[in-house]
Amino acid sequence: MPDYNELTVPEATLLQRELQEKVTLVPYKGPLNYIAGADISFNKFSTTVYAGIVLLKFPSLIPVGYSLVKKEVHFPYVPGFLAFREVPALLDAWEQLPLKPDILVVDGHGIAHPRRMGIASHFGVLAQQATIGSAKKKLYGVYEEPGPEKGSVSPLTDRKGQLLGNVLRSKTNVKPIFVSPGHLVDVPDSLRILRQCIQKYRLPEPTRLAHNAVNQFRLGAIPEGWTGMS
């Protein structure tokens, strides 16, 4: 695996095209006893990123532990290349997880990307892990605004009509979230599974808890490493 910090955007584009051929979109048949959420936090203008993965029991969505890692990154944030900034740190956090989840929810898009290679797909291929992308804003694609009530959904497609994911109204009268498969799951299952992760907030529990964890970690409220709960 190349050092992402040394890549140019053209080189990163070539790598995305190579990895894209490995993305597998299939119905999810495996067990679903554990699910996890991954996210990154950082101080503006800083090259230090705080990555974290929170593991939760499914379907209770009760958190059972988290993995936190601090890392230096130099690849800049460029729309369409988020993975080159966040995946290295997330892989470190992933490696120190004592127990791998059946599904990992990544904060960002899966195949709803110009080259069908959003961060969730990128991570999934490298870690050979089933992943779902859950984003707060659109990166690529077209869609009709879903109805205002919680549960309303509308398809996200490319300009040729190919299905990329779905736009889900997770809470009534609240901006919708974008759900797309990353790897080893398909569009229908990514939506079905993610819907089961919505509780009281706009964001799915795995992502929401991961966001809280990395934020507290960055602020020094939690120590680095693996922390089981009980």
From 125, 127, 120, select the one nearest 100 (Cα to Cα): 127
88: alpha, beta or left? (left if phi > 0; alpha if psi -120 to 50): alpha
Give the nearest distance from C-beta 62 to DNA in angstroms: 24
Measured from the CB atom, the residue of 21 and 29 that comes closer to DNA is 21
| Residue 23 or 83 having the CB closest to DNA | 83
Residue (49 or 61) nearer to DNA, CB: 49
> In the complex with DNA, which residue's Cβ is closer, 135 or 222?
135
- Least CB distance from residue 56 to DNA, whole Å? 19
Residues at the contact surface with DNA, assessed by CB under 7 A: 39-44, 77, 79-83, 107-109, 113, 118-120, 133, 135-139, 172-173, 211, 214-215, 218
Pairwise CA distance, residues 201 & 61, whole Å: 13
The structure tokens listed for 76 are: 């800049």
Q: Whole-number minimum distance, CB 113 to DNA, in Å?
A: 5
What are the strands, taking DSSP E only, across 19-93?
Answer: 34-42, 48-57, 63-72
Which of these, 91, 123, 129, 96, lies nearest to 108 by C-alpha position? 123
Please state the residue numbers annotated as binding site for Mg(2+).
Answer: 39, 107
Taking residue 187's Cβ as centre, other Cβ atoms within 10 Å add up to 21
Q: How far is the CB of 180 from DNA (least distance, A)?
A: 9
Nearer to DNA, 214 or 222 (CB): 214
State the minimum distance, in angstroms, from the CB of residue 192 to DNA. Answer: 21
- Collapse the DSSP code of 4 into the 3-class scheme (helix H, G, I; strand E, B; otherwise coil) and give the result: helix
- Asked whether the beta carbons of 44 and 61 are under 8 A apart, the reply is no
